[in-house]
Amino acid sequence: MTEMGDDLRSLSLSLSRSQGTRILQIHYDRGLTWGKLRCQNGLRICIYCIVHSHYAPRIILWKSSSFSCSIAIMHSYIRPGQFVAIRLQSDQLRLIQIIPDTIVNLGRFGNFAANQIIGRPFYFTFEILDACDDAGHQLRVVSATELHAETLLADGEGDGEGDDVDTGENGIPMRTNRQINDENSSQKLTLEEIEELKREAGGAGKDIVAKLLESHSAIDQKTAFSLAKYTLRKRKKYLKRFTILPLDVGLLANYLIEERDAQKSMELRDEHIGLIGCWGNVHHSGNVEVGEGMKPHGRYAIVDETGGLVVAAMAERMGILYPHDADEYPAEEQDAPIPNATESEHTTGPSKPRRIRPQLMSATTNTITVFHPYSQPNLSLLKFFGYDTNNPDESHPLHTHLKSISWMQLADPNSDPLYANEPPTIPAEELAELKQSKRTAYYHKRNRWGRVKAVVDEGRAGNFDGLIVSTLLEPASVLKTMVPLLAGSAPVVVYSPTVESLVELTDMYSTARRTAFINKKRELESQSSEGEAVDLSSLHEEFVVDPTILLPPTLQTSRVRPWQVLPGRTHPLMTGRGGAEGYLFHGIRVFPTTQNIQAAGNVRKRRKVEATSTPISDRDVEMTS
């Protein structure tokens, strides 16, 4: 422990040469150590490192009065309460929440204590030991050399496939697998003996694999590649290994398709998520609060029926999906030592400032507004990223940057009791006489009504910077309501697992429809008398949407297919998953002009050339000096 403290002090001294840094605190906890340093300019830095010789220290931003890191990025180590993806030897994924002081159960692979992986980096491969080592650890970190050797065997597995006969240097045919009959009789160990080895083996499955190879009667007839394939198959079955991966949006999307019901997420794949964010121009827009009269930026409207997968993907691009590192550690308000109880009775000093609780849905920039048909949106998948809509965490960025509006509140807000029924205002004199519980209930009702009214009014005012739709509803009915709420040049992206609904939507915004809409509108305007309002009811009955406010409509698809690439046998993998193809509709919000536009350019005048009686050629010209 003293060596790690010396490392922190030496790092502090190296930083102090340029920034005037000094150590404030060094904390040791279960093999982890972290220290806080303060610079002369007020910047706080948290240094976090793990007490192992092969782990390098990391520096992450802590707090600053003049600088703040507002983008929340994915953590590089395992935190308590975090959801992680565990990839087993069978290539199966499991999503598990790491809760301290609990046991993680992996089925037939075994179990281990969750405390042994908290604070560890991601992408490490662990092996579950049948018996704890001398230090009391139940997990062993598999070295990179051991993993690399197995990877080389796996890479050579495909080179030996096929029926071609290999020949040696003298043209003598080498050994092949043609004469091998892969039967159960080749394995001398019975199922009962293998189960007995599982109970007695202490090498986490290595002894079982060695016994299986030793008792195989036809092991000497296998080729090198066949032996490697057989060995890898047995190692995947009996070795108790797993790899911990960070749970991001792409991994969650693939997990929902491969391991769960894909229809609940509308079969939204990782490549579709990338295209949606690209065509939707979704990006981080900063956290600077705008003043009066300024237009808020980075406001996106989303219609999501995938359980929150689209919202999570867009929040990741906007930098508001993952919690900040600074929220994990208690911030120090003062550098001076805390006085004891005797001194505090006679000394009056400045009280510790109260922590300002962020209000729900209070952000004005870099926000996501979800439109939903129910009383609450279905965003259950956000729990995998540390945000539960039923019990929201105030420190999570989505607590202030995620807003929700129902279709009823958007169409007719007065029909919603939360919006229409304003709680009566109680004077301050009467409020002071009430009990604490009644005052709390009063403030709760007033704050809830004010929050709902502000969010609904902001949504109805529109001026969103983008619209992303992923719903089973009719896309035309959604765009008819949502496109007028967009700002100029705002992108519109609609995802659908099938192509039929998007083909119909593309036809509604086509050039032919737009021309017919303009001609029909001019005809109705010419029929009405001057000063009289034009009746466009017949126009809206014929055209479901206004084709002049969205262009140019495009329809596309993309799908990643793994291929087998071998000489003469190149084709898509036969074990690939089918399902829906998935299509995207894209358009740009425009404002049609209210005036007639005529093409008028600068017509260049032609130079007048006078005709001569006798034409002059080059031969008639005489050069003189």
Least confident span in 33-42, 94-103, 368-377: 33-42
The pLDDT of residue 152 is: 65
Categorize the per-residue pLDDT at 205 as very low, low, confident or very high, splitting at 50, 70 and 90.
Answer: low
pLDDT 10s digits, 283-328: 998 776 666 667 778 999 999 999 999 999 999 999 999 987 644 4
DSSP codes of every residue in 295-332: PP-SEEEEEE-SSSHHHHHHHHHHT-SS--GGGGSPPP
pLDDT 10s digits, 373-405: 998 999 999 999 999 988 888 889 999 999 999
The pLDDT of residue 154 is: 56
Q: What mean pLDDT comes out for the span 428-447?
A: 90
Contact 162, 176 (CB under 8 A): no
pTM metric for this prediction: 0.73
Categorize the per-residue pLDDT at 345 as very low, low, confident or very high, splitting at 50, 70 and 90.
Answer: very low
Listed residue (379, 120, 111) closest to 245, CA to CA: 120
The pLDDT of residue 63 is: 34
Least confident span in 50-54, 203-207, 343-347: 50-54
The pLDDT of residue 132 is: 72
pLDDT 10s digits, 489-537: 999 999 999 999 999 999 999 999 999 999 998 888 888 777 677 878 8
Instruction: Look up tokens 């032609």; give the residue.
Output: 606
Beta bridge partners of 113: 103
How many whole angstroms separate alpha carbon 614 and alpha carbon 133? 113
> Does residue 260 carry a pLDDT above 80?
yes
Identify the three-state secondary structure at position 264: helix
pLDDT 10s digits, 59-101: 333 333 333 344 556 778 899 999 999 999 888 899 999 999 9
